[in-house]
Amino acid sequence: MYWYQNNNLLKNSSRALSLFAGSALLFWSCGSPSATKSPHKTSDIFSVDSFFTAEVSRLQQLNPAVLKSVKKDGEKEERELKIGSWKNELSAFQSADISKNFDPSLYDVKAIDCVTEFTAKKKDLQIQKLRIEFDRNEKVKHIHIDKKIANTLYDSQEKLDYYTDSLYRIVKLQDVQGLDANQYEIVGKFISSKK
């Protein structure tokens, strides 16, 4: 009977060990800066403003060519160009920062594997969702933002996506009182330089 209990204990121990090792490997393979801690202080919150300030500076130096398309109410125009001011080009993203004076009572925060997501608890908040995906080196791979503005003059909804060194997209639907609703989409695809 003693050998049977020890054998069972050994089997259960090895199962627990392999489960623990598997979990550790999963977390190790792709951990974001926020994934290991619960972000409740302003200093723990990802700063969209700081990220895009750095991107503006980096892109201004690199001066990449972009295939930019603008689509408004069904009509589309597309051309290859160099962006004169990345600060203006990415201003919609930069203004979507929730890190300044962050209040954890206003957002649900989830940090799973390589993704950190902030979801507004109230419908009247301008930033409804902020989702940041990191790669294995904890560098930002993708940022998604849902913005909403509602007042007596107009309602506006924006969906913003930024894929580092790949593309950025702004989709905006605006409904102004007394006028028809209009929608536009801006997509910028980075063109890799041929060497």
Structure tokens at 32: 């974001």
Span 146-173, pLDDT tens digits = 999 888 787 889 999 999 999 999 999 9
State whether residue 107 is helix, strand or coil: strand
Span 61-108, pLDDT tens digits = 999 999 999 999 788 999 999 999 999 999 999 988 898 878 889 999
Q: What share of the chain is helix, strand, coil (3-state, %, to 5)?
A: 30, 40, 35
